[in-house]
Structure 1
Amino acid sequence: MSTAPDNGDRGAEGEPPEPVEAPPAAPPPAPPPMLPARAAAYMAASTLLALTQGFGMNLVAANIPQLQGPFGATSAEAVWLMAAYMAPNASLSIALIKIRNQYGLRHFAELGIAVFLVVAALHIFITDLRSAIVLRFFAGIAAAPLSSLGFLYMLEAFPPARKLTVGISLALTNISLAPPLTRFISPTLIDLGGVRALLQLELALAMLAFAAIYLLPLTPIPRAKVIEKRDIVSYIFIAIGFGSGAVVLVTGRIYWWLEARWLGELLVVMIAALTIAAVLELNREKPLIDLRWLASREVLHVGAVLVLFRLMLAEQTAVASNFFQIIGLQNDQLTGLYGIVALATVAGGLSCAAILKPGREPGIHMAALLFIGIGAFLDSHATNLTRPGQMYLSQSMIAVGGSLFMPPAIAAGFTMALRKGPQYILSFIVVFLVTQSLGGLAGSALFGSFITLREKFHSNMLAQSMTLADPLVAARVSQLSAAYGRIITDPAVLKAEGVALLSQQVTREANVLAHNDAFLIIALLAVGAAVALVIHWLYIRIKEAAARPEGQAAVEG
């Protein structure tokens, strides 16, 4: 209770005293904890949203051979379904952050899921490849809000102290679950109703997500006018750059990097658009993306860690799945493997949620790298007789490593951004976006191209030792051609058929060796990252130890 000062408080000349600063306002009280049943509902809604978005994203990648027939497309043409989805999806999260802050979280959620529901419903009526590509483009736009909403719904269920530990671990686990679950359920759905059954499931998930968002509103956030006209100009160039890069990364390995002229033209467009966006952003007082902060040592370190992680996870998402395709296995023969991978992903995510605390990040990352390295090394001994059951252990280890690695890195990045200020969250979202969406595409493109080159190398090496003068080779040709002896009576044609069959086997063996090389490279990347982590940890400890005596000397002085 304040009282007015008496006359004795005035100065010698009767001047009023200096005004006393009011004490700082008390922070607003923390919201009461959510009831367990309601928290469980929000967690279930987060899982539903993440799987809805993830299923749509992985639908094409997991079923390209199955999509070729209904759409009358080649494998190269079917890949455009994935490119059309990723082109807008790669950058849209940048714009959605500001849209959400200006127009309100509830409107953002309701409109986003409504658009996705409409696009999912339109998928039921597609009959040809062109219409499918157009709809996949709009699906990529409509699905972009779902990944953000999946995060927000999971974080909503936890108090502030556990959002960046338990909340972020479970949210990222949901995202990691989508690829193996898509491959696990796709064969059954295709058996029941063909490709249309996949589209119907996507529509059903969208309808459930639509209901969940209306029944479980998120806590509203204060609105603010944050969108400027120059934001729109910058985003247009960013979207063109990221979209062009996504198309190049998806299609480059199929059409081959140096063969298709339009790939080079798209790269030029990407570089030009991102350069213009960078120039615009560097000359703004309130940039959409703070490029100077992104170029700081700490952010570059986090970005490099996330890129390396995405490259290593290509072992499971791209290399292993492609390996089974080249040895002739279909998706329905891999459901057991992907079921095990999904269970291992959940186990890794729950373990990370239980142990993640500030300061434990290096230990968790070391465990994750060891899991990934050992798993990839075990896979590097595959042969053409390797079957999914022999990779249960190795693929489970990689899944656990993936679930352990991401949450500490993302939590550290968010903490670093929050220290700078809320406006830096969007800039960190860009780092996360580039390393995960484009980084994932880059990992598949890089290792896919590496496997292609190594297959040519191994094919040449094996072919050099194959000569009909070798009794073993001649016997193998005769053995392979014997199956056609009753049909083909010309000895020369019969011998040529045997040589062709032997050539196919050589190509298959070369592919197996090329995939083993890729597995080994990923194992070496994991080991190298683990060594770098140990060196970095020792450097920090030595630096801290050297700083203590200096601090003590300063105190004593």
Structure 2
Amino acid sequence: MDVYTPQVWLPHERPSLPGSPSTPLHSDRRRAAYLIVGLIVALTGGLGNALVSVNLPYLQGSLGVYSSEIQWLPAAYVMANVSMNLLLVKFRQQFGLRLFTELFLMLYAAATLAHLFVHGLASAIAVRAASGMSGAALTVLGLYYTLQAFPARHRLKGVVLGVGFAQLALPLARLFSSELLELGEWRGLYWFELGMTLLALGCVLMLKLPPGDRVKAFVKLDFLTFALFAPGVALLSAVLALGRTVWWLESRWLGYSLAASIVLIAAALLVEHNRRAPLLNTRWLSTGSMLRLALSVLLIRVVQSEASGTVGFLQALGLNNDQMQQLWLVVMAGTVAGMVASALTIAPSRIAPSLMLSLAMMAMGAWMDAHATNLTRPANMYVSQFLLAFGGAFFLGPTFISGFGAVIAAPSNLISFSLMFTISQNMGSLLGSALVGTFQVVREKYHSSQLVEHLTLLDPQVAARVQAGGAALGGTLADPATRSAQGVASLGAAATREANILAYNDVFMLICAVALATLAWLTARYFWEQCVVGKASAGPNAQTGMANVSLNNSGLR
């Protein structure tokens, strides 16, 4: 039989889409095994990049590079991750899941192993790019394995868990990355990453996914689109990742890169818009429901960047990662709780309320953090960070499901949806970090100028503070002038610390405002569809952009 000829499936086994596995009946023991492998594979896809992202300052020192150069590592990951999603769907459809799985895991392992013997920025960037390509593959693979663990009536729960497992990578990386650095400095991170990759490879070789349909998918124009789209995304990722570090208006190459990225991405979309069988369905992506979905994911990812602001705030107070371990345990608990709660409550009719609840929780958490002082410590942020972690995990599954039903109804749009969701997630994360960092720098300069303006030695309190700062060094510095200079420096450092605290409070308040604005928009849209459009025109699940019949036909319900 031709490998591209669809097999004959029993009704409960039929794959929902070409390139996805079939869904035969499994024993409880085998279902548990699929769930464990799904967790391992999903964590492998995200943990390597998370370990690097949370340890960039340490890697900068070990590699001996500037702060602007180390930012190429997260940029390289996003470049490769987003670009590969354009081709991976068709790769699975044409060459099958087995080759897809083994090829990308072995590529990831080979690149990580090579980096252990070639120490330099270029090799580190190459490993991050390989990690991005493999991460794009492993995220989908983890979802497929998780879905095998659930019977048809609970498959929506499997979707929520499958897309949520990767969310555990960042809090896990913060919990034990310090120990890895102590064991082998930067090599400790890469040895662990290599071990996870080999573990995932062994798991998928021992427990294979059921077969699926294969179809001839690639055509020549697909590669023209990729040749235009991939460098466009790479340039845009570089601008977002490095803009704050080299500063937006100080480096000409940022402007050239941004202009080139717009031209290349627009050219790729123009090619796709005029194709008879497009790789990217631009007409479908430009519909109101898809644009609203993309915008909501993008805004929520910006809100989730509050976590990077929390780390920066605590570091400005002089705390290191070892002193934040309890906080990351709370964040981990919030992420798990949000993922489990989302899986237990998921239903098509509850998707819009779930998104609104997650935004309300994240807005509350950001508002609580916006009242921090120089006496704030990790213990004071347990509740707020739990709310933010819970809300961030709670929104992801419903958001994914809200758009996937339309893909089930029109399988040709799978690549378009996959790319839109990936871009919204990854670019939203980069954009959020860039906005948070830029806003914090601007506000720190403002508050610093306001504080320093009132510091004069003619003020008795300022003079007393300078004298006290110098007196603390009286046992080591005999020269009064030197002690006075050190007292002035100590006061300046305190002013800078206070300016940073005020700036981070402004960042948290901005994130709260973004969350509330997004919540207001989603709420207004939801009630407009309920009250104005009505059931006759809105359909049974218009607020989610997905019909129940699509879920029934796909076996997700």
Q: So what's the TM-score if we normalise by structure 1?
A: 0.90
Deviation at 1:530, TM superposition (A): 2.4
Q: Deviations over 1:480-527 (max 9, x none)?
A: 122333444443333222222211111111111111111111112222
Code of the residue aligned with 1:434 in structure 2: it is I
Gaps of 5+ in 2: 1-7, 14-23, 538-557
1:515 & 1:355 partners in 2: Cα distance? 35
Which of 116, 123, 130 is the matching residue for 1:138?
130
Which of 368, 381, 384 is the matching residue for 2:374?
384
Which of 520, 524, 535 is the matching residue for 1:531?
520
Q: Which has the higher relative contact order, 1 or 2, with Cα contacts under 8 A spaced 6 or more apart?
A: 2
Code of the residue aligned with 2:243 in structure 1: it is G
Asked if the contact 2:82–2:419 (Cα under 8 Å) also holds between the matched residues in 1, the reply is no
Give the secondary structure class of the aligned counterpart of 1:158.
Answer: coil
Which of 212, 221, 227 is the matching residue for 1:221?
212
CA gap of 1:131–1:537, structure 2 versus 1, over 3 A, is: closer
Equivalences for residues 144-155 of structure 1 within 5 A: 144-155=136-147
2:57 & 2:449 partners in 1: Cα distance? 28
Asked if the contact 2:78–2:132 (Cα under 8 Å) also holds between the matched residues in 1, the reply is yes
Partner residue, 2:288 = 297
Partner residue, 2:201 = 210
Which of 282, 305, 321 is the matching residue for 2:273?
282
The answer as to 2:239 corresponding to 1:257 is no
Asked if the contact 1:53–1:143 (Cα under 8 Å) also holds between the matched residues in 2, the reply is yes
The answer as to 2:258 corresponding to 1:267 is yes
Which of 331, 335, 345 is the matching residue for 2:321?
331
The answer as to 2:345 corresponding to 1:363 is no
Deviation at 1:77, TM superposition (A): 2.5
User: Structure 1 residues 109-118 or 84-93, which shifts more?
Assistant: 84-93
Which of 222, 234, 255 is the matching residue for 1:243?
234
Partner residue, 1:50 = 42
1:77 & 1:537 partners in 2: Cα distance? 45
Gaps of 5+ in 1: 1-25, 549-557
1:176 & 1:272 partners in 2: Cα distance? 33
User: Structure 1 residues 68-77 or 42-51, which shifts more?
Assistant: 68-77
Q: Which runs of 4+ in 1 moved over 4 A?
A: 544-548
- Identity value in percent: 39
2:269 & 2:489 partners in 1: Cα distance? 54
Deviation at 1:546, TM superposition (A): 8.9
1:345 & 1:406 partners in 2: Cα distance? 11
Code of the residue aligned with 2:523 in structure 1: it is V
Aligned pairs, number: 520
Q: Deviations over 1:358-398 (max 9, x none)?
A: 10112212221221111111111111221111111110111
1:422 & 1:169 partners in 2: Cα distance? 20
The answer as to 2:19 corresponding to 1:30 is no
1:204 & 1:513 partners in 2: Cα distance? 42
Deviation at 1:262, TM superposition (A): 1.3
Equivalences for residues 308-347 of structure 1 within 5 A: 308-316=299-307, 318-347=308-337
1:520 & 1:391 partners in 2: Cα distance? 15
Give the secondary structure class of the aligned counterpart of 2:458.
Answer: coil
User: Structure 1 residues 174-183 or 86-95, which shifts more?
Assistant: 86-95
The answer as to 2:443 corresponding to 1:451 is no
Partner residue, 2:110 = 118
Code of the residue aligned with 1:515 in structure 2: it is Y
1:192 & 1:105 partners in 2: Cα distance? 36
Asked if the contact 1:64–1:78 (Cα under 8 Å) also holds between the matched residues in 2, the reply is yes
Asked if the contact 1:34–1:158 (Cα under 8 Å) also holds between the matched residues in 2, the reply is no
Code of the residue aligned with 1:417 in structure 2: it is V
Partner residue, 2:297 = 306
1:408 & 1:82 partners in 2: Cα distance? 27
Partner residue, 1:516 = 505
2:136 & 2:516 partners in 1: Cα distance? 34
CA gap of 1:547–1:197, structure 2 versus 1, over 3 A, is: closer
Partner residue, 2:121 = 129
What CA RMSD, in Å, does the superposition of the two structures yield over aligned residues?
1.8
Code of the residue aligned with 2:310 in structure 1: it is A
2:57 & 2:138 partners in 1: Cα distance? 27
Partner residue, 1:465 = 454
1:380 & 1:389 partners in 2: Cα distance? 15
2:454 & 2:313 partners in 1: Cα distance? 24
Equivalences for residues 76-115 of structure 1 within 5 A: 76-115=68-107
CA gap of 1:545–1:290, structure 2 versus 1, over 3 A, is: closer
Code of the residue aligned with 2:184 in structure 1: it is G
